[in-house]
């Protein structure tokens, strides 16, 4: 199935809904069925629809192989309620669909949902915001043109888009030093985050993914600096933290069975503790990733594919820094708990018909990601994201040190001086930076081969020119090299004469001295 968001953008959940319904209507097999002694054409049973749609969702990169049959039934119920399908008598509007032989058909009306458009005044505000963003970016264009050198190296090795680095240009004309205000620091943090996220996602603009006003530097700075030795956010205001009884319950299950022995235990104790935690998170006024960042995280879901896993991890690492500190702390503690519980072989069974991992995902998915207005695909999207967070939470929720290093570098140059371009305000004098440029897979493979071959050829040349190496060892190494890399060896020594010339100056061996034949003496005995 095609990815509707190959490019990130707004209203991704609506686009996914339209994509799934379109593929369902186009691909669902229709045939004749008999029911109550009557033949019906161009229809399907509920059981057939569950089989086909479940396979469709599992092969979709936005949902993945963890989609369950029960989730597929729930989505089909949404289809019936929204008139994507109707029963054989033309009835719809309810969620009365079970996994059985009940007959359904497609209505003649289109099931596609319209994508909302911003009112004129909102578009105007968005344009003004974008204009300010571009103006500000122009003033600070050299502040964030690159990731740190270590990050660039990792990007060139791990990103499937395959990156190469080119040098950028910058003018320098340092003048007087100046004081750095808190506003300067916050502005640099904002642009560092925006540029790094844009680079990771590989898009030309974040206009349709993230509003710059949603990047709150104070949250980022707090999440980066106020952490425990384990990287978990430490809150100064205790009223924003998890209640003590919730923390105790989470610690109990995370360390099971090594919990506080002073607590009373009984048969089913762990189930009651888990239910207490689940009820608390379910009653939160908004999901941990907040309604504000719903579209942002749904866009990142499009990257959850095997060859884009590294990109998704880096993007989520930055996006989770945008969260309010209390939300980030709760997310960190929740992910640690459910990850430990799902891997704990000593954990008693908490559900009669479901494994621990599946139970964790089904219980907390809507507590992590949810839209302010109910979206039909919310549960499937949230399940996909929580499953990925469980597997990679340690890396996603750790503090990325390269961002701190990038900000400190920019602040250092901001303190050293300023430069002034015609028609521009004074801005920080910055050094020449390099940035990552995307290349094709073919170019990457060609560069990889040519670079490695050049290094091997250089190794051969070093062996040839090494005068301190005894001839015997040199012959031995060259013979070994010829065996391992025959083509490179042949390019260096195309003929036997060229190879023999290498040893032409060897010292000649002196001829052995003539040995005189010893005379034979006859025996003197008679």
The three state secondary structure string of 259-286 is: CCCCCCCCCCHHHHHHHHHHHHHHCCCC
Kind and range of the H or E run holding 87: strand 86-87
User: Which of 84, 105, 126 is where one domain is finished?
Assistant: 105
The verdict on 394 and 493 lying in the same domain is: no
Whether residues 331 and 463 share a domain: the answer is no
Reported as half-sphere exposure (CB side, CA atoms, 13 A), residue 178 has a value of: 14
Top pLDDT among 142 and 452 is at 452
Q: What is the pTM of this model?
A: 0.61
Q: Domain range for residue 473?
A: 441-498
Task: Kindly state whether residue 371 falls inside one of the protein's structural domains.
Answer: yes
Say if residue 188 is in the same domain as residue 334.
yes
Mean pLDDT computed over every residue of the chain: 78
Query: Has residue 151 been placed in a domain?
Result: no
Rounded Cα–Cα distance for residues 211 and 218 (Å): 16
What domain count does the chain have?
3
Are residues 257 and 373 both part of a single domain? yes
Q: What pLDDT is recorded for position 343? A: 92
Q: Of 105, 126, 156, which one is at a domain's C-terminal end?
A: 105
Q: Extract the runs of DSSP E, i.e. beta strands, from 376-463.
A: 418-419, 427-428, 434-438
Q: Are residue 329 and residue 228 in the same domain, yes or no?
A: yes
**137 belongs to a structural domain:** no
Asked if the peptide bond before residue 354 counts as cis, ω within 30 degrees of 0, the response is: no
One domain, residues 400 and 448: no
Is there a single domain that holds both residue 399 and residue 453? Answer: no
Q: Give Cβ neighbours of residue 365 (< 8 Å, ≥ 6 apart).
A: 379, 382, 383, 385, 386
Q: Are residues 188 and 333 in the same domain?
A: yes
Provide mean pLDDT across the span 461-482: 83
Based on the fold, state whether residues 217 and 365 are members of the same structural domain: yes
Contacts of 187 (CB under 8 A, 6+ apart): 136, 140, 217
240 part of a folded domain: yes
What tokens does 347 get? 């954990």
Looking at the DSSP assignment, which residues form a beta bridge with residue 39? 34
Asked whether residue 425 is domain-assigned, the answer is no
Confidence at residue 119, expressed as pLDDT on a 0 to 100 scale: 44
Tell me if 168 sits within 8 A of 433, measured CB to CB: yes
pLDDT tens per residue, range 333-350: 999 999 999 999 888 889
Do residues 397 and 449 share a domain? no
Same domain assignment for residues 488 and 396: no
How many percent of the chain have pLDDT more than 70? Answer: 74
For residue 376, the domain's CATH number is 1.10.555.10
Report the alpha-carbon distance of residue 339 to residue 387 in Å, rounded.
Answer: 10
Position 8 in a domain: no
State the distance between the two ends of the chain, measured CA to CA, in whole angstroms. 114
Q: Is 461 found in the same domain as 389?
A: no
- CATH classification of the domain holding 23: 1.10.10.10
Among 105, 138, 160, residue at a domain's last position: 105
Is 249 among the domain residues?
yes
pLDDT tens, position by position, 374-431? 777 778 889 999 999 999 999 999 999 889 888 888 888 777 654 333 333 333 333 3
Question: What is the DSSP secondary-structure string of 179-242?
Answer: PPPHHHHHHHHHHHHHHHHHHHHT-S--TTT--GGG--HHHHHHHHHSB-TTS-B--S-GGGSP
Of 347, 351, 377, the closest CA to residue 76 belongs to: 377
- Each residue's pLDDT tens digit, 349-369: 899 888 999 999 999 999 999
pLDDT, tens digit (0-9, with 9 covering 90-100), for 258-294: 765 566 678 888 999 999 999 999 999 999 999 999 9
Residue pLDDT, tens place only, 3-27: 554 556 667 778 888 888 888 988 8
**Does residue 503 sit within a domain?**
no
């Amino acid at each position: 199935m095609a990815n509707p968001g190959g490019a990130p953008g707004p209203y991704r959940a609506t686009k996914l809904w339209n994509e799934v319904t379109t593929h369902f209507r186009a691909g669902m097999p229709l045939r004749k069925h008999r029911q109550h002694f009557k033949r019906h054409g161009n229809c399907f049973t509920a059981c057939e629809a569950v089989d086909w749609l479940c396979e469709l969702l599992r092969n979709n990169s936005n949902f993945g192989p963890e989609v369950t049959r029960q989730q597929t039934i729930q989505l089909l119920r949404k289809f019936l309620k929204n008139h994507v399908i109707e029963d054989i008598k033309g009835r719809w509007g309810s969620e009365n669909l079970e996994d059985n032989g009940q007959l359904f058909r497609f209505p003649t009306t289109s099931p596609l949902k319209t994508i909302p458009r911003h009112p004129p005044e909102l578009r105007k505000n968005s344009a003004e915001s974008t204009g300010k963003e571009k103006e500000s970016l122009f003033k600070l264009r050299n502040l964030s043109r690159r990731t740190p050198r270590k990050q660039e190296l990792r990007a060139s090795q791990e990103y499937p888009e395959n990156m190469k680095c080119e040098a950028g240009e910058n003018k320098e004309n340092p003048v007087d030093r100046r004081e750095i205000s808190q506003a300067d620091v916050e502005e640099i943090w904002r642009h560092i985050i925006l540029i790094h996220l844009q680079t990771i996602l590989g898009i030309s603009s974040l206009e349709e993914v993230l509003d710059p006003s949603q990047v709150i530097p104070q949250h980022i700075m707090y999440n980066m600096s106020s952490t425990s030795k384990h990287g978990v956010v430490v809150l100064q205001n205790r009223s924003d933290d998890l209640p003590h009884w919730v923390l105790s319950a989470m610690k109990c299950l995370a360390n099971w069975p090594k919990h506080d022995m002073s607590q009373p235990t009984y048969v089913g104790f762990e189930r009651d503790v888990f239910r207490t935690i689940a009820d608390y998170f379910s009653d939160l006024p908004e999901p941990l990733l907040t309604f504000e960042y719903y579209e942002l995280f749904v866009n990142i879901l499009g990257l959850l594919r095997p060859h884009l896993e590294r990109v998704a991890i880096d993007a989520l690492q930055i996006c989770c820094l945008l969260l309010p500190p209390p939300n980030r702390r709760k997310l960190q503690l929740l992910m640690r708990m459910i990850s430990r519980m799902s891997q704990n072989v000593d954990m008693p069974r908490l559900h009669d018909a479901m494994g621990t991992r599946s139970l964790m995902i089904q219980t907390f998915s809507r507590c992590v990601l949810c839209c302010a207005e109910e979206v039909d695909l919310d549960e499937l999207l949230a399940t996909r994201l929580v499953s990925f967070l469980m597997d990679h939470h340690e890396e996603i929720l750790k503090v990325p040190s390269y961002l701190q290093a990038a900000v400190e570098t920019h602040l250092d140059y901001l303190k050293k001086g300023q430069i002034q371009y015609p028609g521009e305000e004074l801005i920080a004098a910055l050094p020449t930076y390099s940035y990552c440029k995307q290349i094709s897979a073919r170019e990457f493979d060609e560069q990889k081969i040519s670079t490695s071959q050049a290094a091997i050829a250089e190794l051969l040349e070093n062996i040839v020119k090494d005068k301190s190496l005894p001839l015997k060892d040199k012959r031995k190494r060259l013979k070994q090299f010829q065996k391992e890399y025959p083509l490179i060896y042949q390019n260096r020594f195309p003929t036997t004469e060229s190879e023999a010339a290498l040893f032409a100056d060897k010292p000649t061996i002196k001829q052995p001295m003539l040995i005189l034949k010893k005379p034979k003496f006859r025996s003197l005995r008679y």
